[in-house]
């Protein structure tokens, strides 16, 4: 089996293509009402990755200021042509971390959720898998992230 990374992805019209260079830090399946509305589906799948590990292969996403649950807003990187959302930057982690929409990866099946969050507002017909952590709302990274992801995040936040 070939290594899944780097893995390419992109928007629907193919004007924007990118490569995710390594495995993500952690993958959220978010059942909050905000993600539901933004995705138009039952939940959002976001792979958190250092933004500098996303390489643009073609196109240039437009960053659209969008409200967020925290009130601090997010910037959603969208294809300037078809407007598909590719990733977000949230106020908390800033521009250094991208919340990549897993469904835009060419091999999304290789990037399953590490945790289900905001399950308190999960749609009742969504059945959660056994063996994957699930929390009613949010969580502390040190309680769930693998040590190497915590170390990666620490290095990232210490960098200028």
Which of these ranges, 10-18, 50-58, 97-105, 145-153, lies near Zn ion under the rule CB under 5 A? 10-18
Q: 44 near 38, Cβ under 8 Å?
A: yes
Q: 45 near 103, Cβ under 8 Å?
A: yes
Q: How far is CA 7 from CA 10, 25, 96, 152, in A?
A: 10, 15, 19, 19
7, 20, 35, 111: residue in contact with Zn ion (rule CB under 5 A): 35
Whether the bond between 43 and the residue before it is cis, its omega within 30 degrees of 0, is no
Q: Is 134 in the site for Zn ion (CB under 5 A)?
A: no
CB of 28 vs Zn ion, minimal distance in Å = 7
Q: Give DSSP secondary structure letters for 89-144.
A: EETTTGGGEEEEEGGGBTTGGGS--SEEE-GGG--TTPPPPTTS-B-SS---HHHH
Nearest Cα to 53, choosing from 22, 8, 7?
22
Which of these ranges, 23-31, 49-57, 94-102, 147-155, lies near Zn ion under the rule CB under 5 A? 23-31
Q: Is 20 in the site for Zn ion (CB under 5 A)?
A: no
Q: Is 86 in the site for Zn ion (CB under 5 A)?
A: no
20, 79, 100, 115: residue in contact with Zn ion (rule CB under 5 A): 79
Q: Is 11 in the site for Zn ion (CB under 5 A)?
A: yes
CB of 33 vs Zn ion, minimal distance in Å = 8
Q: Is 82 in the site for Zn ion (CB under 5 A)?
A: yes
# residues near Zn ion by CB under 5 A: 9
Binding site for Zn ion (CB under 5 A): 11, 13, 15, 30, 32, 35, 79, 81-82
């Amino acid at each position: 089996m070939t290594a899944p990374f780097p893995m390419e992805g992109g928007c629907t019209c193919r004007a924007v293509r990118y490569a995710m260079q390594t495995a993500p830090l952690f993958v959220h399946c978010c059942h909050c009402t905000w993600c539901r509305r933004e995705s138009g589906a039952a939940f959002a799948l976001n792979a958190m990755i250092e933004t500098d590990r996303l390489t643009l292969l073609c196109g240039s996403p437009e960053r659209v200021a969008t409200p967020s649950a925290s009130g601090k807003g997010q910037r959603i990187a969208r294809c300037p042509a078809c407007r598909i959302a590719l990733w977000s930057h949230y106020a908390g982690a800033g521009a250094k971390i991208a919340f990549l929409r897993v469904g835009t990866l060419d091999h999304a099946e290789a990037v399953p959720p590490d945790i289900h969050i905001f399950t308190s507002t999960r749609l009742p017909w969504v059945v959660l898998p056994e063996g994957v952590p699930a929390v009613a709302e949010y969580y502390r990274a040190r309680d769930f992230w693998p040590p190497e992801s915590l170390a990666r995040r620490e290095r990232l936040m210490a960098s200028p």
